[in-house]
Amino acid sequence: MDIYVGNLPYDLDESALREVFTPYGTVDKIHIVFDKISGRSKGFAFVSMPNGEEAQKAIESVDGTEIAGRAVKVNEARPREQSPAGGGFGAPRPPRPFNRGGSGGGGRGPGGGGDRRGGFNRGGGEYRDSRGGDSRGGDRRGGY
C-alpha cells in the first residue's frame, strides 16, 4: 500500500522518515517529492509498505503526530489523476478575435464610444460630450 505523508519539514531526509514508519512494519521504499527548479523538498512524500494491515496501522498511528515541530497528515495515497495530453498548462483556449473594441457605449451620442478596454483595434466611433462639445476620436484616454 502506498501512503501519502504531507506537511513534512522541508529538511527531512529519507532515513528520518523511514525511522518514523519502520516500527509499524516493513517499508519497501520512500519517495520524497522535490521541486524540479529549486531542488527543495515540496513538503510531502510517499511511503510504500507491502503489508496492508501494517500500512493501515501506520496511517492511524502517525497521522496528526509532530515530526520536527510540524503536525503531519497521513492517509492512503490516491491514484494520480491523468492530465490531458499535450504540452502546456491545461486545455487549449479558444481563439480570440483581434477587434475587441466595443460599439455603442450607452448614451454617448451617435457613434458610441467603444469599449475603453479594447484589444488591438481600440477605436469605437466618435465620442461626444453630453454638453454638445467637440468630438474626440476613439480611445477615451487621449487628449483633445
Count: domains in the chain: 2
Residue 82: inside a domain, yes or no?
no
The pTM assigned to this predicted structure is 0.57
Do 110 and 71 lie in one domain? The reply is: no
> Average pLDDT, whole number, for the chain?
78
Task: Choose between 124 and 5: higher pLDDT.
Answer: 5
Do 6 and 56 lie in one domain? The reply is: yes
pLDDT reading at 62 higher than 60: yes
Do 72 and 102 lie in one domain? The reply is: no
- Give the domain range for residue 126: 98-130
Please tell me the predicted confidence (pLDDT) of residue 14.
96
Residue 92: inside a domain, yes or no?
no
pLDDT reading at 124 higher than 80: no
End-to-end alpha-carbon separation of the chain, Å? Answer: 73
pLDDT reading at 109 higher than 80: no
Task: Choose between 39 and 123: higher pLDDT.
Answer: 39
CA atoms within 13 Å, Cβ hemisphere of 54:
15
Residue 112: inside a domain, yes or no?
yes
Please tell me the predicted confidence (pLDDT) of residue 49.
97
Do 41 and 103 lie in one domain? The reply is: no
